[in-house]
Structure 1
């Protein structure tokens, strides 16, 4: 209960200790122990979808977008505010004017995380976070998605055969490109809602004042594990009561990438032609 309470509320370990009738040091020890257990259980709750689950997501996303096929999940980055780290604070000072680490998340149609990467400095761009994450290895090298499957992301990400992004808005988009971007946006927003739900349920993620970087990263991962567990047991409607409408997409991350590789361009043009 201590471990659930700490990320759910923005209280000090002194206050948590008083609430549960234990010493602050004991509360901290208990929290670290349980967070470590949740982190070890991450592969059981945050996992790549099976073929059956992937097909279910593809069908749901295609229905919601009115025609975009092959979408297994949506990717985005989320800033987790932290206290100024010792040693190298500049790398963690982001474009919005505060220190943070980045949570890169991929979620399915039900806002469940199927892949996360935690801990990159807040100053790092979404595209570079993706390039340095295990997910890129999984998608580009191992090709865990077939040629007719892909993730979707915003314009901050590179256009690849396995990662479809919108057309950059230069003010000269064709009607077909506008339709494509609009329909892509309707289903890509699911990952933003997932982050809003995560921060609404676990309010400590609005500011993690922990000096231990390892514990900080494990805490974020543990919250993602609990997020998936709650969606699995409570469902979306019950979880939505704690939705954080204040979540905003990181400023300055959109509309900076264009071009992409040939496979991505051909695939995007093909999908646009279907709409």
Structure 2
């Protein structure tokens, strides 16, 4: 099936008659124009060039308002993704007439919707098993070839994030913020203890823990531990948690991470003041700013699940494959943020957990963390008073 026919069929249910007729007319006109400018293919290289021309023509015809709602990426980003993945060995691309372009578009479509795999297969006139195999392979290739799309920020990037949090939230020396969510999964078959992933309602899911910069871009993602693990336990098992214990200066260079009260307070990881209804104005102000930071991470996780709705129904029995799918969507989300500004909304955590200091093995925080949190809260108060005093002097002058 030709690529243009594939996409036309794919989108046919999404447009009204007038829009679809216009799309088809424009695509036909551009194909005819392109065919007059081409010679007959004489070798494999020419045929590949012809396919790329057709791909470009179809994408240009699809530049309409809701292209993003189907594929999440822009046409140019989609083409770049195809270019990066085309040289890879696709064992699932085995059907006659089926190309890497089909595989990428079908995978983006499958990740962006909650359509059943059977329905996606019908759209592309292929077997349901091919859709599932191809999606797994797409996620494997994306996470291995675009791994740098999610990276811990250092140097200039880190300084930009610090400045961003200071200007938008008002907390100094904040490198990133951590948020959590969960991803449903079928009873896993690739872990020693599947029942560890069982929730109280009998279903299974994994914990998604994500670190974000001031723009909501993912800088580190973990998606492999049971949802019912406490956040502090998940953090301790991640690479970030290990680095915080072993060499926090190399990881943060004097900066800190912001998290909610389920994480242990330290000089390198700041949390809110416990609210016993006796907080002073400075501590309340500090907590409000922390909540604004947390909104960045939780907002990104909420938007991630909205853009890539397949995360709500992956229907996989593998923790490993589920983790790859989650990281793939996070990589695509970072690409999505390059061209679209996403408003941040305050979204709550996926579940209520006890604050870390109330756990049997918990504590109120390290001395360095307690002192640093107090100093920042006090500085917020002093900054406010200084601004008022300065304004008064200026007015009198």
TM-score by length of 1: 0.89
Matches within 5 A, 1:75-90: 75-85=178-188, 88-90=193-195
Question: Contact 2:188–2:318 (CA<8 Å) still a contact in 1?
Answer: no
Matched, 1:179 2:279: no
Matches within 5 A, 1:112-261: 112-143=217-248, 144-147=251-254, 149-232=255-338, 234-237=339-342, 248-253=348-353, 255-257=355-357, 259-261=364-366
Whole-Å Cα distance in 2 between the matches of residues 265 and 96 of structure 1? Answer: 38
Question: Contact 1:169–1:255 (CA<8 Å) still a contact in 2?
Answer: no
Whole-Å Cα distance in 2 between the matches of residues 273 and 21 of structure 1? Answer: 64
From the superposition, tell whether residues 150 and 3 of structure 1 become closer, same or farther in structure 2 (CA, over 3 Å): same
Q: More relative contact order in 1 or in 2 (CA 8 Å, sep 6+)?
A: 1
Structure 2 counterpart of 1:72: 175
From the superposition, tell whether residues 174 and 247 of structure 1 become closer, same or farther in structure 2 (CA, over 3 Å): closer
When the two structures are aligned, how many residues end up with a matched partner? 267
Matched, 1:24 2:124: no
Question: Contact 1:156–1:255 (CA<8 Å) still a contact in 2?
Answer: yes
1:5 shift after superposition: 1.5
Any idea what the Cα deviations from partners look like across 1:236-272, whole Å, max 9, x if unmatched?
24xx6xx9x8964122225343511111111111111
1:24 shift after superposition: 1.3
Question: Contact 1:95–1:251 (CA<8 Å) still a contact in 2?
Answer: no
Question: Contact 1:155–1:166 (CA<8 Å) still a contact in 2?
Answer: yes
1:155 shift after superposition: 0.3
Structure 1 counterpart of 2:376: 271
From the superposition, tell whether residues 254 and 43 of structure 1 become closer, same or farther in structure 2 (CA, over 3 Å): farther
Structure 2 counterpart of 1:106: 211
- What residue ranges of structure 1 are gaps of 5+ in the alignment? none
Whole-Å Cα distance in 1 between the matches of residues 309 and 346 of structure 2? Answer: 12
Question: Contact 1:77–1:104 (CA<8 Å) still a contact in 2?
Answer: yes
Question: Contact 1:35–1:222 (CA<8 Å) still a contact in 2?
Answer: yes
More helix by share: 2
Whole-Å Cα distance in 2 between the matches of residues 40 and 215 of structure 1? Answer: 13
Any idea what the Cα deviations from partners look like across 1:197-225, whole Å, max 9, x if unmatched?
10010011123211122211111111111
> What is the root-mean-square deviation in Å for CA atoms of aligned residues?
2.1
TM-score by length of 2: 0.63
Question: Contact 2:264–2:356 (CA<8 Å) still a contact in 1?
Answer: no
Whole-Å Cα distance in 2 between the matches of residues 59 and 119 of structure 1? Answer: 32
Whole-Å Cα distance in 2 between the matches of residues 10 and 191 of structure 1? Answer: 23
Whole-Å Cα distance in 2 between the matches of residues 202 and 51 of structure 1? Answer: 31
3-state DSSP of counterpart to 2:115: coil
